[in-house]
Structure 1
Amino acid sequence: MTQTTTERLFSFEEYLTYDDGTDSRYELVDGKLERMNPPTFRHLLISDFIQDNFKAEINRLSLPWLCFREAGVRTGWRKSRLPDVYVVTAEQVIEFLDESAVCQSAPILVVEVVSPDSVKRDYRYKRSEYAALEIPEYWIVDPIESKITILLLSEGLYEEKEFSGSQQIVSATFPEIALTVEQVLAAGNLG
């Protein structure tokens, strides 16, 4: 469960430099800091697998893109999220190289891996924030429901397609990527 600080509202600039002396990670939601629980190992393994596949595809196609894990994305005036994985152009990062790793403009693609405490946040709140930011493609990887939902932005709203089992994922950003839901979710298993 996430915890929200309520002592005062933070600006985006204050959020970028906030340090409570711990290793806690926070998202900024309407000026309030929401402490994020550490991810599960399954969550990390799935995120790593996706990032590795995205990086391989970026390199294979020699695209001027970068793929990051758990870096931030500014989603509004007093809002910033910490997606599990996202893809941006190198140009989006170059002027912020020595600043906090929070992308100031819409990534090309964002991925969230659902955890028991993030279901509503990933399916509802982040969906509306990412659509408002005009992120073209948003993946919701749900190991709880054994499915992956791909949301593609169309006229300001996301159109969704669910994939499960041995279905190959269809991505607009990476149309040649050959991944099934089973392969992605299996990355979260050991043995």
Structure 2
Amino acid sequence: MTAVDDRVIALFEQLEVPEGYKAELLRGEIVMMAGPDWVHNMIVQSVADQISRERWDRLQTQDIAIPGEASEPQPDLVVYERGAFEGPGRLLPAPAVTLLLEVASKTSVDRDYRVKRSIYAAGRVPAYLIVDPIAGRCVLLTEPTGWGEGADYGVERTSKFGDPVPLDLLGAILETSEFRTLA
């Protein structure tokens, strides 16, 4: 990282975010957005409920540290194996994470499909799930490759709402029939 990146990170860490908003640092850019809507929250809750608490921690509003990136994203849901991280601190290291979930919105769709896809792959997060209530589909990305802005996932599996989504790394099958759309 450069001195500019360090200054942006310091500024970001001191940022006072207004109530009802969230802020993320994505490749040196501070992105602020309004809180999520009901459809979004119900999808996140449904996904979390379908992942076993016996083996996995499922956290919302958890910032992630991505090695080598001037990024501190806050995915909609973070899933990691119990005991893989015990804190303290506000940043959970990406290498401890098994799956990250983002629920796309009209204002986040480009970041979710493009920017965060590359950031999470660069952080070597094994699985990235995009649930898109605009298009009525789920996109599961696995097998991260590459580095920096050129990082991506080698495997992409798309399922429409109503079809089950195998989350093999978690030993779960995600039922999506109750996911609502924003249409």
TM-score, L = length of structure 2: 0.80
Tell me by how many angstroms 1:19 deviates: 3.9
Give the equivalent residue in structure 2 for 1:95.
Answer: 87
Tell me by how many angstroms 1:92 deviates: 4.1
Equivalent AA in structure 2 for residue 141 of structure 1: V
Match of 1:74 among 65, 68, 76: 65
Percent of residue pairs identical: 24
| Cα separation, 2, equivalents of 1:140 and 1:173 | 16
| Cα separation, 2, equivalents of 1:21 and 1:142 | 26
Alignment of 1:37-186 (within 5 A): 37-54=34-51, 57-59=52-54, 63=55, 65-75=56-66, 76-96=68-88, 99-100=89-90, 102-106=91-95, 107-153=97-143, 155-156=145-146, 157-158=152-153, 159-175=155-171, 177-183=172-178, 185-186=179-180
| Cα separation, 1, equivalents of 2:80 and 2:173 | 21
> What is the RMSD of the two structures over their aligned residues, measured on CA atoms?
2.4
Tell me by how many angstroms 1:93 deviates: 3.0
Equivalent AA in structure 1 for residue 59 of structure 2: F
Consecutive unaligned residues in structure 2, runs of 5 or more: 1-5, 147-151
- Alignment: residue pair count: 168
Consecutive unaligned residues in structure 1, runs of 5 or more: 1-7
Give the equivalent residue in structure 2 for 1:10.
Answer: 8
Misfit runs of 4+, over 6 Å:
none
| Cα separation, 1, equivalents of 2:17 and 2:121 | 33
- Residues 89-132 of structure 1 show CA distances to partners (whole Å, capped at 9, x for unaligned) of 34443132xx22x2123311001001010110000000001111
